[in-house]
Structure 1
Amino acid sequence: MARLKTIWQLSALAALAATTATIAVNQAPVTEPGKSDVIASVLPVETRPVEYQHGYEVQRVFSGRVQARRESLLGFDAGGRLASVQVLEGDRVQQGALLATLDTARLAARRAELAAAQAEAEARLALASATLKRLRGVLESGGVSRQELDEAREGRRAAVAALDLARQRVATIDVELEKSRLFAPFDGTVVERMVDEGRVLATGEPVLHLQESAIPEIRIGVAGDAVKLLQTGRVYALRHGQTTLEARLRTVLPRRAARTRTVDALFDLVGEYREFEHLRPGDSVNLYLALAIDEPGYWLPLAALTEGERGLWNLYVAEPAGGPSPVIGATHRVGRRTVALLHHEADRVFVRGALQAGTPIIASGLQRVVPGQWITTADSLVAAGEHR
């Protein structure tokens, strides 16, 4: 009897617990399927409309170098033994400064010999002149014949010619002596010394490399049709490392290099010499030119492209649903377009393909979507939130 009573009490407690749970469930707040819950289950994507462009600009970079306006490999007009070099590499010299000399011992001896011959010719001329003068004085008295007078006259003329020849020979030696000294043809810096004292030089063999101390010029090789964009007299901004240089285009040379197929453009730097002392001949300088390409298409973010077939590329567009979608809350469907890549930059590309101005493309997160997938755009999601 006690056992039956206990069973009855347990059954009553179980029934009471079930009733309490049912009441609690029925009294709990029921959340109706609102738009926010449905939209949250649809993948939102970021889109942006494309804009039609009639063409695009390509920035071309052309490299050149700094070069001295004048630089020369200096040598002697005549060969000989190098006696002295007055300068070292790095020395700055002024125009007319003595740089080097040749051994002139032989020339000095030869000049002394010719100077003696000149003195002898002068003495012969003096004697011939005196003889002619005396003969003219006694011609009227009949002391000399006309023939003797003619001989004296021609003898004097021969003495004059001999003296002229002697003087010319001395002058020639003086020129050779002058050529035995090497002078700076312009203000500059000795950048290289090729030989030292004691060497026997051939005619014209370089001794020193002299580079002019003046504002350098810029030589840049421009390829293709970009030459047509250059305007003589215009000031261009050139890049030297992290520095911008202003340079005026002086001329474009009327020939194209056979090896590089470029045309050299020469620029004059705008400013004072002290502003460009940091430049060294051989430094690299770049010229940037914007080339207009007449090819219609669209600019897209680089992240909007995926690789396609046969060298083409794909992008995804958000196509309007056009009616009720099978997925509640979806406003668009993913479509695929194939485009050709015409030009690319760091973070954007210019393409040509079956697009229209204003078409919303999926700009990022392409790995999350596939063609045919139902989606909602970020703009639609915001609009839905505002509607609530």
Structure 2
Amino acid sequence: MRWANRHCPLSAAKSATNGPGKSSEKTMIANRRQRGFLFLCERIACTSAMLAILWPAMAGSDAVDQVPVGAAALTAVSVVQTAQMEGYKLRRVYSGSVEPYRSSNVGFERAGLLAEVFVREGDQVTPNQVLASLDTALLEARRRELAASLAQAEADLALAEATLERYRDSVQEGAVTRQALDEASAAERAASAAVELARARIGSVDLDITRSRLSTPFAGVVTQRLADEGRVLEAGEPVLQIQEARTPELRIGVAGPLVDRLQPGRLYPLHYAGRAFDARLRAVLPVRAGAARTVDALFTPVLADAPRGQVLRPGDLVELHLSQWIEEPGIWLPLTALTRGLRGLWNVYLADLDEVDLEHEGNHRIGLTGRLRLQPVEVLHQANEHVFVRAGLPSGSRIVANGLHRIVPGQQVRVLESANAQLARHKAAAATEAH
């Protein structure tokens, strides 16, 4: 009866009605045991499923290791063969500006009120053409005053001359003393000097009136107007800017030892707005600029050979391209062959061949396999998409050209060497040297 009460649901129900506290505790214990049993079943089911999935692979791993890997199953990499070069051509680009052959800020020699400007910006002017004028009212009044003084001085001179002539005749007759004759002679000379002074003053005023007109020093174009009518100008203050209508000059600063190789009289290719034209070197100045440490070279453009529609204007920027041969052994590689190393160094992936098979697929040989290793290099020069490096490798070494994110050191790979790789390498080197 005790066993029946413990395991029979009916008995349990009866006991629950008889003892509610004990029945609740037993129910909680039963539920806890049921949940633990379900969790254990789930763990067993998951473990069985995992074993069912992994067991075939684990059982066949030894068989897979025993199967050799073919060349077609390896990661394919494209390589280039190295070719040792004795050096490279370093392209130097020097910039300069277009300057007018002659340019002047013209102004009046004297101060005064600007009365009129006869030209506008962009006007063509000829030598000695009047460009502007100052107000000359005061000068003209001064000239009239001096003209009256001159007339008075001339009248005094005429009287002094007549008096001197009479005194000379009277001295011979004894009617005038020698003292009076000397005084008359001095008065005549003083009157003559007064006349010369009046004439000189008039000439000075006439010169100021002439200087009140501004003339063109040379034929050219008015490029800027710096003052307008009604302004009181200081002496020498610029009014207009005149630029000579002549072939401009090119001034380019050249630094380094290449300046000593420039030859005056020789034609050099210059570049402007993406186009090239020839210019003749006129002179190399014998001084070096203090701040930029450059030497100015002066060129005269040969515009007859320039492309149609090309116009050089003062202020335009031009470039001089020079090449310098650098005697430094090395090899040319594509820029994509470089990978960063430690402490700012550069590395390349070198493919050491371990199998040779001359089967072909298209333009590539698919049977070459090799193992990769890192080779440190020193970058000496970069030109467009290629770099010139010092690597210490013999000619014919195979360097991975691109796709470095897919490989690691020590990896066995399938080597794809294009039949045109060597030709492309030489073309790249030739294009770089042409610059």
Query: Are positions 1:214 and 2:252 aligned together?
Result: no
1:38 offset after TM fit, Å? 5.0
In the alignment, which residue of structure 1 is the partner of 2:139?
A: 107
- Deviation digits for residues 127-168 of structure 1 (CA, Å, limit 9, x no counterpart): 222333333334333333322222222222222222221111
In the alignment, which residue of structure 1 is the partner of 2:191?
A: 159
Distance 1:380 1:260 in 2: 48
| Residues 341 and 349 in structure 1, CA contact (< 8 A), matched pair in contact too | yes
- Matched residue type, 2:408: V
Query: Are positions 1:301 and 2:334 aligned together?
Result: yes
1:196 offset after TM fit, Å? 1.6
In the alignment, which residue of structure 1 is the partner of 2:380?
A: 342
Task: Give the counterpart of 1:124 among 152, 156, 173.
Answer: 156
Distance 1:366 1:243 in 2: 38
SS in 2 for 1:115: helix
In the alignment, which residue of structure 1 is the partner of 2:229?
A: 197
1:100 offset after TM fit, Å? 0.7
1:81 offset after TM fit, Å? 1.2
Bigger Cα displacement from structure 2, 215-224 vs 253-262 = 253-262
In the alignment, which residue of structure 1 is the partner of 2:266?
A: 234
Query: Are positions 1:312 and 2:345 aligned together?
Result: yes
- Rg larger in 1 or in 2? 2
1:338 offset after TM fit, Å? 0.4
Change in CA separation of 1:272 and 1:169 when aligned onto 2, cut-off 3 Å: farther
| Residues 54 and 297 in structure 1, CA contact (< 8 A), matched pair in contact too | yes
| Residues 219 and 264 in structure 1, CA contact (< 8 A), matched pair in contact too | yes
| Residues 224 and 240 in structure 2, CA contact (< 8 A), matched pair in contact too | yes
In the alignment, which residue of structure 2 is the partner of 1:5?
A: none
| Residues 80 and 202 in structure 1, CA contact (< 8 A), matched pair in contact too | yes
- Matched residue type, 1:351: V
SS in 1 for 2:217: coil
Gaps of at least 5 residues in structure 2 are: 1-68, 358-365, 420-435
Distance 2:335 2:312 in 1: 39
- Matched residue type, 1:296: P
Query: Are positions 1:243 and 2:275 aligned together?
Result: yes
1:379 offset after TM fit, Å? 5.9
- Matched residue type, 1:63: S
Change in CA separation of 1:379 and 1:202 when aligned onto 2, cut-off 3 Å: closer
| Residues 337 and 354 in structure 1, CA contact (< 8 A), matched pair in contact too | no
Gaps of at least 5 residues in structure 1 are: 1-36, 382-388
In the alignment, which residue of structure 2 is the partner of 1:362?
A: 400
In the alignment, which residue of structure 2 is the partner of 1:32?
A: none
Distance 1:85 1:302 in 2: 63
1:1-388 to 2 correspondences below 5 Å? 38-41=70-73, 45-271=77-303, 278-321=311-354, 332-375=370-413, 377-378=415-416
Between 1 and 2, higher relative CO (CA 8 Å, sep ≥ 6) is seen in 1
In the alignment, which residue of structure 2 is the partner of 1:17?
A: none
| Residues 330 and 374 in structure 1, CA contact (< 8 A), matched pair in contact too | no
Aligned-CA RMSD value: 3.0
Change in CA separation of 1:343 and 1:126 when aligned onto 2, cut-off 3 Å: same
| Residues 38 and 329 in structure 1, CA contact (< 8 A), matched pair in contact too | no
SS in 2 for 1:144: coil
**Normalized against structure 1, the TM-score is what?**
0.79
- Matched residue type, 1:344: Q
1:323 offset after TM fit, Å? 10
- Deviation digits for residues 271-307 of structure 1 (CA, Å, limit 9, x no counterpart): 4699888222111111111123333322112122222
Change in CA separation of 1:360 and 1:233 when aligned onto 2, cut-off 3 Å: same
| Residues 238 and 247 in structure 1, CA contact (< 8 A), matched pair in contact too | yes
Distance 1:374 1:329 in 2: 13
**Normalized against structure 2, the TM-score is what?**
0.71
Distance 1:116 1:276 in 2: 64
- Matched residue type, 2:101: R
Distance 1:141 1:320 in 2: 141
- Deviation digits for residues 162-192 of structure 1 (CA, Å, limit 9, x no counterpart): 2221111111111111111111111121122
Identity of aligned residues (%): 50
Aligned residues: 342
- Deviation digits for residues 197-239 of structure 1 (CA, Å, limit 9, x no counterpart): 1122222222112222111111222233443333222221111
Bigger Cα displacement from structure 2, 341-350 vs 265-274 = 265-274
Distance 1:276 1:153 in 2: 79
1:339 offset after TM fit, Å? 0.4
Change in CA separation of 1:87 and 1:50 when aligned onto 2, cut-off 3 Å: same
Distance 1:90 1:323 in 2: 77
